[in-house]
Amino acid sequence: MPRYVALLKGINVGGKNIIKMADLKQLLAGMGFADIHTYIQSGNILFDSGKEEENLQIALEKGIQERFGFRVPVIIRTANELKHIVNQCPFTSEEIGKAESHTEVEVFYLVLFGKPLSKEEMTLLSSVESGNETYKISDRNMYMLLNDSIRNSKLAASLQKIKTPSTVRNWKTICTLLTLIERD
């Protein structure tokens, strides 16, 4: 059975869209998913399922809305896709280290989109890129390297204008999810 990671957008942030991970695991188990693990409280779920990605995404969004009373975008990646994402990182360790040396906060993020961006969305992103923020898009993922907090990032703020569903995770979380998948 294929191994997946589901990444929920905007849960347990600022006291809104609260979902306990135990309740989320229970929901997935009730939906027939197997070997379910969660990582931190921000909605990172590892599980096995015989369903295809699109069906999983629809089922999870519907299940969460029915059980918890609010809609949450869900982004799905297979274990192999996550491994590919990490192995194909377009930034060198030197580039990442240089960005990290300027600040105490996280500076390297992955934006995971539900589908590839449209030409208009790509144009929007390219219009806000600056010398201290850069990104690389590969398929349905955007690697984002900042030199300051994501809260001060014009590039990150521009994601609010993108209609394609997405969620953002820092690179350490992505690498930890891969480690957890490979350990299973």
In this structure, of 66-70, 88-92, 180-184, the range with the lowest mean pLDDT score is 180-184
Give percent of the chain above pLDDT 90: 77
pLDDT tens-digit map of 92-139: 999 999 989 888 899 999 999 999 999 999 999 988 766 678 999 999
Backbone angles phi, psi at 113, to 5 degrees: -100, 150
Question: In 3D, which of 13, 14, 12 has the Cα closest to residue 24?
Answer: 12
Question: In 3D, which of 159, 151, 168 has the Cα closest to residue 103?
Answer: 151
Mean confidence (pLDDT) of the chain:
93
Q: Which residues of 3-31 are buried (b: 16+ CB within 10 A; e: fewer)?
A: bbbbbbbebbeeeebebebeebbebbeeb
C-alpha to C-alpha distance for 180 and 115, rounded to whole angstroms: 25
According to the model, what pLDDT value does residue 184 have? 64
Is the model's pLDDT at 42 over the cut of 90? Answer: no
pLDDT tens-digit map of 77-95: 999 999 999 999 999 999 9
pTM of structure: 0.93
According to the model, what pLDDT value does residue 106 have? 93
Confidence band for 62, pLDDT divided at 50, 70 and 90 = very high
